[in-house]
């Protein structure tokens, strides 16, 4: 049960950080480009790299890893997990899998959001 509480608390913190930082950045830079999402994705990737390396080296306990990587960063952005998983595939020498994962996630994700948007338009 404690693990779920760590994830829940971290997720709430991450979601609040995403919302607050996103609103601030977009207000500062304007609507011409999705700067807030871009910034959140790249900072989340930076942070998960730090957190998980420290965890792998024993500098962070499993509880802190769960709280920070799954909770806070999971609420902040799942793009950080995507980046970490891609790095893991590359480190394992699985270049083709890494490429397919990146290309498939981006292309298929875009196609599916477009299809869902069109489909939902038929409901209204």
Residue list for the binding site for Na(+): 74, 77
Structure tokens at 105: 């996630």
> What letters, b where the CB count within 10 A reaches 16 and e where it falls short, cover 17-41?
bbeeebeebbeeeeeeeeebeebbb
Instruction: Answer for the pair 19, 53: CB distance below 8 angstroms, yes or no.
Output: no
Which phi-psi region, left, alpha or beta, contains residue 30 (left: φ > 0; alpha: ψ -120 to 50)? left
Residue list for the binding site: 74, 77
Instruction: Answer for the pair 76, 21: CB distance below 8 angstroms, yes or no.
Output: no
């Amino acid at each position: 049960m404690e693990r779920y509480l760590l994830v829940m608390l971290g997720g709430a913190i991450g979601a609040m950080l995403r919302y607050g930082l996103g609103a601030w950045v977009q207000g500062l830079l304007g609507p011409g480009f999705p700067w807030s999402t871009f910034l959140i994705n790249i900072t989340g990737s930076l942070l998960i790299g730090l957190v998980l390396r420290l965890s792998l080296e024993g500098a962070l306990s499993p509880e802190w890893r769960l709280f920070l990587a799954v909770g806070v960063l999971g609420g902040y952005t799942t793009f950080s997990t995507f980046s970490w998983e891609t790095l893991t595939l590359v480190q394992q020498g699985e270049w083709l899998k890494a490429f397919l994962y990146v290309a498939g996630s981006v292309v298929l994700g875009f196609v599916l959001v477009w299809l869902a948007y069109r489909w939902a338009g038929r409901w209204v």
